[in-house]
């Protein structure tokens, strides 16, 4: 597995991956208005890391480097539970210069458990248009 910076040639595939992964993971939300271009808006101005194996893009993470904030981490639904998310998360955590942060929707229980398993701690709860979320922190060792 190789984690590398995003290039423009990744955009078409990651748009498709993002749409498919949201539909698979955020099943409690109405996806009728979701579009491929949502990827562009959600990652605007962010650092994007791409996970690939044998030339196949399998997932991505988008973060705000200056804020040590992981904004998005999505894996192709057909490639989940293969260590891709863990590899991306590790690459993101290595970029943090201080305590990392993320928000995880509580209805996405698999994602919440994933972050807890990787040492993230729940700091507080909040509400978003997509539902309740957990604010989580990752403290550098």
CATH for 2-138?
3.40.630.30
Of residues 20 and 141, more confidently modeled: 20
What pTM value is reported for the model? 0.93
Checking if the pLDDT of 31 tops 80, the result is no
Per residue in 123-139, pLDDT tens?
999 999 888 999 999 99
Q: Which two tokens stand for residue 69?
A: 């904030």
pLDDT band at 30 (very low <50, low <70, confident <90, very high): confident
Query: For the segment 88-134, what is each residue's pLDDT rounded down to a tens digit?
Result: 999 999 999 999 999 999 999 999 999 999 999 999 999 998 889 99
Task: Express as a percent the part of the chain with pLDDT over 70.
Answer: 99
- Give the pLDDT band of residue 77 (cuts 50, 70, 90): confident
């Amino acid at each position: 597995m190789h984690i590398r910076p995003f290039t423009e040639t990744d955009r078409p595939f990651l748009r498709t991956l993002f749409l498919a992964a949201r539909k698979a993971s955020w099943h409690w939300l109405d996806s009728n208005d979701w579009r491929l271009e949502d990827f562009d808006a959600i990652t605007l101005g962010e650092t994007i890391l791409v996970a690939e194996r044998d030339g196949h893009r399998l997932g991505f993470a988008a973060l705000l480097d200056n804020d040590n904030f992981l904004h998005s981490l999505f894996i192709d639904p057909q490639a989940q539970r293969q260590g891709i998310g863990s590899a991306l998360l590790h690459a993101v955590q290595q970029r943090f210069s201080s305590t990392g942060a993320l928000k995880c929707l509580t209805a996405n229980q698999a994602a919440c458990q994933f972050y807890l398993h990787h040492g993230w701690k729940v700091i507080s709860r909040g509400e978003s248009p997509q539902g309740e979320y957990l604010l989580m922190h990752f403290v550098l060792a």
